[in-house]
Structure 1
Amino acid sequence: MKSRIAPYLQSAPAMLWLALFFIVPLLAIVSISLMTGNSIDGYTLTWNFAVFPDALNEYSAQLGRSFLYGGISTALALIAMYPVAYWIAFHGGRRKSIFLFLLLLPFLVSFIIRILTWQFILSDEGIVLGTLKDIGILGENAHILSTPVAVITGLTYDALPWMALPIYVALEKIDRDLVEAAGDLYASGYQQFRRIILPLSAPGIYAGILLVGIANIGDYLSAQILGGPSTTMIGNIIQTEYVQNGDYPVASALSLMLMAALLLCVFVYARVFGTRTIQEYA
């Protein structure tokens, strides 16, 4: 009898934590999304399912922009950090931990401080544009802030360590004897990379894409600080509807649709690589 009850008792704290901090809030968001009313007179549960297609129709551009910016910034982070992770894993030697620490060091600073720093760097008279204007490469009216370039730059920069770390873990797990054996069989460096290293590091790549993509698609501070009205993302709309407009049903509906889209990405990853790789690399 005790052996049958023991697994349930052991999992009870985790299940209680999951219920209190995930299931209950999720049910609350679902119920709020189906309400009608306003922040002054209050809200009533009317099972208003029309809020979902209405919100999607009204803010489809912002939702699409979020996936576009998130996808571009994720791809740029992958292109930038795969070589870095590869070099640390295969050529870092005894100083791998030092290189990883240096990689993470800038991100010990507050996220908001880092975004504000990029706002200064990309400002019209900042380090980048100011220098290019002084040497005559750009005209006086050139600007980067409030453009997609500024938002994607902020998203990409913040994603760098979260892309590098899972790729590094995957590269570290590759058996070096496989690479040496390929070299003994006269495989070129490119062939070793394409046939051995890249396929075996694929779970880390996709784990990095998953981590970075989910965070960047739902981000709103980068677009709020570095962007403008034409670069609004879905996170900005949710924040505006909830904080400024007090339209809790619309904000909840948008949050649920965004969460459903991101969970679909997680489901696809789990189907392709399995849930174990999420625990190992993510």
Structure 2
Amino acid sequence: MASFTGDGSRRLHRLVKGRTLVIGAPYLWLLVFFLLPFLIVVRISFAQMDGARISDLFAYADQALVMKLDLLSYATIFQDEIYGSTYGHSLLYAGVTTLICLVIGYPFAYFMARAPAALQPLLLMGVMLPFWTSFLLRVYAWKGLLDAETGWVGRFLAHVHAEQLLLPLGLISAPGQFLYSPFSLVLGMVYTYLPFMVLPLYGTLSKLDLRLLEAAQDLGATPWQAFWRITVPLSRSAIVAGAMLVFIPCVGEYVIPELLGGPETLMIGRVLWDEFFSNNDWPMASSIAVVMVLLIIVPLAIFNNSQAKAARS
């Protein structure tokens, strides 16, 4: 009996130890590769540029340890209108891109999930196929495609007089000028990040129990009612996951606004680049990065907290 109890205790100890290791590994990864670098950025944001080096936050003088926090960079962000407008543009373009990706991606993911089993791997490969080509090359290709004189996409848009719709909405600055505009910027981001919306939606919709839809139809629900009351609520977690996968990288996007955007599409990624490498103002750039992370993390944490409370209730 004592031997049995001892063996059980050892197995329980190994089980708890293995579970702690499995759970602790992701937290260790986040600590080393996210939290520590972020703390370094926060530390730089409260410093000053002392020539080519960053000033120290702590100074020891007269047997006293003094902490020097410079808030000039944060004050500049909240006082200078260009930073506020840049954050606004970044959030706006990221939100529009996320919405368009959802509108396009949900029907496609639904079609993939309902397609014959033999056809689904081919459709999935079609979604993943753009990742076989360099991200930079794919974005740069749109510069040629959207040219109104040489690109077939630009010529098609000019042929159907798309500027009659895009120009009143402010998406292009002049007739036939589809490049270097909010239109080309959003188009490039939708093209780039659409697979990040489709994949989580497909993963959830493909596992949906179709008997629930059959039961809804037996109870008199139309296909549209069954879709809104069963399919959409059950795929809500995938919608949120896809939206986060699209929205978060879009906020800090640099390459697409640089190649396809114009002067009126200034986003926070370009401002970060200018502050780091053109102005060599690391504290200012770090402050911009910290505010950008807070703009994303804080609402996301509040949303996750509310979702967890709703699930518990």
Give the 3 Å change call, closer, same or farther, for CA 222–184 of structure 1 in structure 2. same
Give the 3 Å change call, closer, same or farther, for CA 97–265 of structure 1 in structure 2. farther
Q: Which residue of structure 2 aligns with residue 110 of structure 1? A: 134
Aligned pair partner of 2:97 in 73, 82, 85 = 73
Amino acid at match of 1:75: L
Cα deviation, residue 247, structure 1: 0.5
Q: Which residue of structure 1 aligns with residue 84 of structure 2? A: 60
Comparing 60-69 with 115-124, which one deviates more in the overlay?
115-124
Amino acid at match of 1:199: P
Q: Does 1:48 align with 2:70?
A: yes
Provide the C-alpha distance between the structure 1 equivalents of 2:109 and 2:27, rounded to a whole number of angstroms: 36
Cα deviation, residue 102, structure 1: 1.1
Give the 3 Å change call, closer, same or farther, for CA 136–17 of structure 1 in structure 2. closer
Comparing 7-16 with 23-32, which one deviates more in the overlay?
7-16
Higher helix share: 1
For structure 1, the residue ranges without an aligned partner over 5 or more in a row are 278-282
Cα deviation, residue 131, structure 1: 4.2
Contact 2:46 2:283 in 1 (8 A): yes
Amino acid at match of 2:41: I
Provide the C-alpha distance between the structure 2 equivalents of 1:271 and 1:92, rounded to a whole number of angstroms: 38
Provide the C-alpha distance between the structure 2 equivalents of 1:164 and 1:92, rounded to a whole number of angstroms: 18
CA deviation string 1:205-239 (max 9, x = no partner): 11111111111111111100001222110111011
Instruction: Tell me the SS of whatever aligns to 1:35.
Output: coil
Cα deviation, residue 23, structure 1: 2.6
Cα deviation, residue 107, structure 1: 2.5
Amino acid at match of 1:187: A
Comparing 218-227 with 266-275, which one deviates more in the overlay?
266-275
Which structure 2 residues correspond to residues 93-242 of structure 1 after superposition, within 5 A? 93-125=117-149, 126-133=151-158, 135=159, 137=161, 142-242=176-276
Cα deviation, residue 50, structure 1: 3.3
| Higher Cα radius of gyration | 2
Contact 2:49 2:282 in 1 (8 A): no
Cα deviation, residue 194, structure 1: 1.3
Aligned pair partner of 2:45 in 33, 36, 48 = 33
Give the 3 Å change call, closer, same or farther, for CA 180–9 of structure 1 in structure 2. closer
Provide the C-alpha distance between the structure 2 equivalents of 1:90 and 1:33, rounded to a whole number of angstroms: 50
Cα deviation, residue 180, structure 1: 0.9
Q: Does 1:262 align with 2:270?
A: no
TM-score by length of 2: 0.79
TM-score by length of 1: 0.87
Aligned pairs, number: 275
Q: Which residue of structure 2 aligns with residue 280 of structure 1? A: none
Instruction: Tell me the SS of whatever aligns to 1:223.
Output: helix
Q: CA RMSD for the aligned pairs?
A: 2.7
Contact 1:32 1:252 in 2 (8 A): yes
For structure 2, the residue ranges without an aligned partner over 5 or more in a row are 1-8, 58-67, 164-173
Amino acid at match of 1:130: R
Tell me the percent identity: 32
Give the 3 Å change call, closer, same or farther, for CA 182–141 of structure 1 in structure 2. closer
Give the 3 Å change call, closer, same or farther, for CA 184–102 of structure 1 in structure 2. same
Contact 1:38 1:246 in 2 (8 A): no
Provide the C-alpha distance between the structure 2 equivalents of 1:16 and 1:232, rounded to a whole number of angstroms: 36
Q: Does 1:21 align with 2:33?
A: yes
Give the 3 Å change call, closer, same or farther, for CA 178–131 of structure 1 in structure 2. closer
Contact 1:241 1:248 in 2 (8 A): yes
Contact 1:56 1:254 in 2 (8 A): no
Comparing 251-260 with 12-21, which one deviates more in the overlay?
12-21
Contact 1:92 1:99 in 2 (8 A): no
Amino acid at match of 2:152: I
Cα deviation, residue 54, structure 1: 1.3
Cα deviation, residue 40, structure 1: 3.2
Contact 1:66 1:217 in 2 (8 A): yes
